[in-house]
A and B are shown apart, each in its own frame.
Chain A
Amino acid sequence: MAEILPFLKSLISVSGVSGNEAPVAKLIEEKWRPLVDETRFSRVSSLHGLKRGIGKGRRPSILIATHMDAIGMRVTQLVDGFLRITNVGGIDVRVLPGAEVTVHASSGAELPAVIAMPSSKLLPESAGDGALEIGYLLVDTGLTAREVEKKVKVGDLVSFANEPMELAGDILSGHTIDNRASVAALTVCLEELQSKPHIWDVWAVATVQEETSFLGAYTSAFEIRPDIAIAVDGTFAKGPGANGWQTHAMGKGVGLCMGPNIHPFLHTKLKELAERLEIPWFLDVTTAHSSTDADPMQVTAEGIPTALVEFPIRYMHTPVESVAVKDVQRAGRLLAEFIALLDEKFVESITWDD
């Protein structure tokens, strides 16, 4: 099996804040191009890679969605050479003070910067002594006020800039493991499919704006109109501060989600396959929404049978999100094996009740 770590590291070394995914999209397109028959971008800039199956006539198709966008920040005001910011997606304000970021200036410059927490003397009393709301924080580029005003404009994006860190025991940590690790898993799947014949057409999709509106998943699922769809995303790993029923052990396998958002037939097939191949897996239950690309895809067009494959991520939505690389490999392998077993009769056999 090809080593996916270097590619995943490169994926979390670039930006791609929701709505501005171009930097990471370029990297993914280059990686996928030799692995699929064609690549193109949707009207809203999701990346579509088509790998044709060997079936005759009208071939059924599967869409695998991995969102490539990242949470981040955006400049709202320039004040005395500092920048005020707001969030793009679900930012945890507790991680911001002292965080290294890049300001993507509209002048084209990428400015290294740090997020500053002003002392309480400079803030209203209502700011409190806990984690500060994002509106109280300032971004400092180290440049003079004049240079900042020349280069930066309201609306410019700010992304996390810390470098990937490999931790002992096959763990990769960094910003945007959510959800570049899933892009990596889908890449593993495409690599496996190079030597594995499949009847169905496979649409590998890197979606945009999952963190803000699911724009990419809605629109790509509509355009491609697959017979079934699978989203790949992170779920919560057990770890410091997180030990509830929603959390799962890292490095112990692939998560298979069940709940109203997931088609039970697909869930069962994935589960049976994992058992047969001895790929370790765990059950991840959701009561209503999965809050992934599986949500929008399920209700696209006349409705699409949808499943969700996951792996545990620690410290979700912090710049030190961590994942066990072997879980990513396992997810990729399970996807490839699942695609290989899809035959001409599979679509007809899908029923909600057993």
Chain B
Amino acid sequence: MPTFGTPQLKLLEKLCNAIAVSGDEREVRSLVLEEIKGYADEVKVDALGNVLATRFGRGKRRMRVMLDAHMDEVGLMIVAEEGEGIYRFESVGGIDPRHLIGKQVYVGKDHTPGVIGGKPIHLMESSERTRKVSIDSLRIDLGLAGKAKVGDRAGFATKFRRVGPSIMAKSIDDRIGVATVIELFKQAPSNIDLCAAFTVQEEIGLRGARVAAQYFNPDLAIAIDSTPANDLTDFDGNENATYNTKLGLGPAIYIADGATLHDPRLVRFLQEVAASEKIPHQLRQPGGGGTDSAAIQRALAGIPTVSVSVPHRYTHSPVSISRVDDWKHTLHLLHAALKKVTPELVGKGSR
């Protein structure tokens, strides 16, 4: 069983508090490079900014296993200046504008503090009070003397915290995956060559994963992400039949999502490992959405690929919630699975 405790949670805290909006993953990239230094036999930052690191195992018949987690997060980009610290912005990746009014953000490399305000309720007609807001009508306010550059990225200013059995933080999607791959890389079993892909631009089209897979040419791949737990209560008391995943039930193994039919051999393998190791797990409800798996699976001549996610509530919002135990069980499941990877798993050589 892999080590799990305060150091792992501290690492996740650093990763969640960093801001790395798609296309500007610098902060997370430097944290990743710092963490894997000393463990990697080969490491490179590629043409898109992916961090690609290899740790070789020992012995014969070693499989090349690619573990993928995306470094980027959905966020905002400054698009125009209006003077006196007021800036127009656009979203990068899918953000519901209803999560923006009244929120604190950090802008640019120096994390310049800013706020997204709204018209005072006192000055609104009653029909205006629940009207749909568009991003176009909102502004980032850096204060009367505030300065930013057009093109600067902005992220929510939420601070990571531990609460009872949970984590509350921004960007759990997918820093929890990044932290998972870092830990598995540090604690890699020796029967495989571990190819760690910390990818860019997942939220805007899985761009990093595609070239990462083409670089590594692995025998199989696992995309480790964080998927929504839509497990809230139905307002009218009806059964919530479309929860996707539920918090507290363990890692979510994918069968099919909107972009990928996950490799059935690997889906079965993960369930068997979980069962034999008695690790709580759940099957993500087949449906929409997608992960880096989609880009990896169809790279080169095709790569057997599966996804595993740590569930989180309130996706792409200022504060998401995950359960610590779900993460612990995810690490445990993946570590146990890596140890059992053999060429026979995906019929290597007989394909």
Chain A residues proximal to chain B, CB less than 8 Å: 79-80, 82, 90-95, 97-100, 111-112, 114, 116-119, 121-124, 127-133, 136, 138, 140-144, 147, 162-163, 165-171, 173, 236, 239-242, 244, 246-247, 250-251, 291, 314-320, 322, 324
Chain B residues proximal to chain A, CB less than 8 Å: 85-86, 96, 98-99, 101-104, 112-123, 129-133, 137-139, 141-147, 157-159, 161, 163-168, 230, 232-236, 240, 242, 248, 313-314, 317-319, 321
- Report Cα–Cα, A116/B232, bound state, in Å: 9
- Closest residue of chain A to B121 (Cβ to Cβ) is A92
- Closest residue of chain A to B122 (Cβ to Cβ) is A316
| Set A119, A132, A143, A250: member contacting B230, Cβ < 8 A | A119
| Set B133, B235, B240: member contacting A127, Cβ < 8 A | B235
Least CB distance, B187 to chain A, in whole angstroms: 27
- Extra contacts, 14 of them, besides A136-B235, A168-B112 (Cβ < 8 A), are A90-B122, A94-B130, A95-B118, A98-B99, A111-B163, A144-B164, A168-B142, A168-B146, A236-B123, A239-B86, A240-B119, A246-B123, A314-B117, A322-B117
- Report Cα–Cα, A170/B85, bound state, in Å: 12
- Closest residue of chain A to B159 (Cβ to Cβ) is A163
- A162 and B86 contact, Cβ closer than 8 Å, known pairs A93-B130, A315-B118: no
Q: Which of B99, B102, B133, B165 has the most CB of A within 10 A?
A: B102
Contact A117 B99 (CB under 8 A): yes
* Interchain Cβ contacts within 8 Å, total number: 211
| Set A79, A94, A171: member contacting B133, Cβ < 8 A | A94
- A142 and B141 contact, Cβ closer than 8 Å, known pairs A122-B234, A168-B147: no
- Report Cα–Cα, A123/B146, bound state, in Å: 40
| Set A92, A99, A138, A251: member contacting B129, Cβ < 8 A | A92
Contact B321 A171 (CB under 8 A): no
Kindly list chain B residues whose C-beta atoms are within 8 Å of the C-beta of A242. Answer: 119-120, 123
- Report Cα–Cα, A167/B84, bound state, in Å: 12
Give 9 CB contacts A-B under 8 Å.
Answer: A80-B233, A118-B232, A143-B166, A168-B142, A169-B144, A236-B123, A242-B120, A242-B123, A316-B120
Least CB distance, A162 to chain B, in whole angstroms: 6
- Report Cα–Cα, A243/B104, bound state, in Å: 22
Q: Which of B131, B146, B165, B319 has the most CB of A within 10 A?
A: B319
Contact B130 A97 (CB under 8 A): no
Main SS of the interface on chain A?
Answer: loop
- Report Cα–Cα, A162/B161, bound state, in Å: 13
| Set B130, B139, B165: member contacting A142, Cβ < 8 A | B165
- Report Cα–Cα, A130/B131, bound state, in Å: 5
Contact B98 A317 (CB under 8 A): no
Kindly list chain B residues whose C-beta atoms are within 8 Å of the C-beta of A80. Answer: 233
Contact B98 A131 (CB under 8 A): yes
Kindly list chain A residues whose C-beta atoms are within 8 Å of the C-beta of B132. Answer: 129-131
